[in-house]
Structure 1
Amino acid sequence: MDAFLTSLFALAIAEFGDRPQILCAALVIRFGRVQPVVWGLALATLVNCLLSAWAGSQVNQWISEEPVRLFYALSLLLAGVAMLAWRRPVDLLENWSTGAFWTSFLGLFILQFGDKGQFILAATAARTDAWIFAAIGGWIGVMLACLPAIILQERLAQAVPVVAMRKTGGTVLVAIGIILAMSAWGVL
């Protein structure tokens, strides 16, 4: 249950206001259809979460607990820093002519691949033997972060203080990452 809840909350925080959320809203506006974008997001995120969690479970077999704890702490710390830092604009995939589902699936898969969420999920899965629960929790977390953008589209920025939430989430992840890193180094 720890892996499930940890990955759910960490990814929901880390992905809110991030590029996948913006791309989801842009794709719904572009195609005028919600369902294919939701299905594309769901499948792309599921594949990415399964890959990340499985890779993390492999790390668990190679190294001892202390480096795994440090890996987890650093993944949260760096995700928080990324949330506080400037980010590149999102490519809205306007030149792609693959249809709503395939554009959503491929675009979001590529965008999420190697992103901070994957590192958080891999680090979470590395801490446990239940990597599948980490994957499911991470998938739900990303879906919870992106569904408001799909539903509200451009109204999201008006309805929710996205920048403030992003800064708050980044600060929380940095603080937790620092505390966990100090604990892993034996300082706390």
Structure 2
Amino acid sequence: MEALFTSTAVVTLAEMGDKTQLLSLLLAAKFRNKTAIVLGILVATLLNHAASAWLGAWLAGFINSDLGHWVLAGSFILVGLWLLVPDKEEGVSSRFDAYGPFVVSLVLFFLAEIGDKTQVATVLLAAEYQSVLWVTLGTTVGMLLANVPVVYLGARLMEKIPLSITRVVASALFILMGVITLL
């Protein structure tokens, strides 16, 4: 259960101000069917994070060595530092609008997550906990906790969240996980 709770907390915090949260805001402004947007986010996240967690669990077999242990700890610390760098807002192409909010959300979220901080975090968490199921569920819940309110409450919510503070807290959490891994 530690893998579930840690994965949920880490991704929820890491997602604050992330490009996919901004994507949620843009999709909510573009489409009226909020449920379809949320379902697209859910399916895209499950697919992306399940593959990422599987990769992390597979890599865990190589991390059992001393060098692997240092690489894992260093990776947590590097992701923590990476979280301090804010994402840039990217525009959403309107050429896919004809496919509807579910397909557009699914495709754009899946693509936006490739190489994203939360995808890297999912790989690292799965390598640490060696649990594809609990890490995938936790990171998916974290993604939904961060994005669903944005879909339904939009810009009003984004104005009230102190993104600089959440970035620092998420960064500190990753750095702490790196230090704990070293110990």
- Judged with a 3 Å threshold, the aligned counterparts in structure 2 of structure 1 residues 153 and 83 are, in CA distance, closer, same or farther, namely same
Instruction: Indicate whether 1:77 and 2:77 are aligned.
Output: yes
Q: 2:100 maps to which residue?
A: 99
Q: Evaluate the alpha carbon distance shift between residue 95 and residue 79 of structure 1 in structure 2; reply closer, same or farther with a 3 A threshold.
A: farther
Listed one character per residue, the Cα deviations across residues 114-173 of structure 1 (whole Å, up to 9, x for unaligned) are 211112111111123432111111111111111121121111222322333223333x13
Counterparts of 2:94 and 2:134 in 1: how far apart (Å)? Answer: 35
- Confirm or deny that 1:11 pairs with 2:23: no
CA deviations on 1:44-82 (whole Å, 9 max, x unpaired) are 000111001111111122331544543443333233222
Q: Which residue of 1 aligns with 2:148?
A: 147
Q: Give the Cα separation in 2 of the matches to 1:160 and 1:59.
A: 35
Contact 1:79 1:116 in 2 (8 A): yes
Q: Structure 1's 49 and 178: CA in aligned 2 closer, same or farther, altered over 3 A?
A: closer
* Corresponding position of 1:47: 47
* CA-based RMSD: 2.1
Paired with 2:33 and 2:142, the residues of 1 have a C-alpha distance of 23
Q: Equivalents in 2 of 1:86, 1:15: separation in Å?
A: 11
Q: Which residue of 2 aligns with 1:63?
A: 63
1:133 is matched with which residue?
134
For the residues of structure 2 that align with 1:62 and 1:165, how far apart are their CA atoms?
32
* Identity %, equivalent residues: 27
Q: Which secondary structure does the structure 1 equivalent of 2:17 belong to?
A: coil
Q: After TM superposition, give the deviation of residue 177 of structure 1 in Å.
A: 5.0
2:24, 2:115 → 1: CA distance?
A: 18
**Deviation (angstroms), 1:22:** 0.9
SS of the residue corresponding to residue 96 of structure 1 reads: helix
Partner letter of residue 29 of structure 1? A
Distance 1:82 1:43, change over 3 A: same
Separation in structure 2 between the aligned mates of residue 65 and residue 134 of structure 1, nearest angstrom: 22
2:16 and 2:58 map into 1 onto residues whose CA distance is 28
Partner of 1:30 in structure 2? Answer: 30
Gaps (5+ residues) in structure 2?
A: none
Q: Does the CA-based 8 Å contact 1:71-1:123 persist in structure 2?
A: no
CA 1:124 to 1:67, structure 2 compared with 1: closer, same or farther past 3 Å?
Answer: farther
Q: 1:120 to 1:70 in 2, by over 3 A?
A: farther
**CA deviation profile, 1:64-115 (whole Å, cap 9, x unmatched):** 1544543443333233222212433223233323221111000000001121
Distance 1:86 1:14, change over 3 A: closer
Give the SS at the match of 1:99: helix
TM-score (norm 1): 0.85
> Does structure 1 retain, via aligned residues, the 8 Å contact 2:53–2:135?
yes
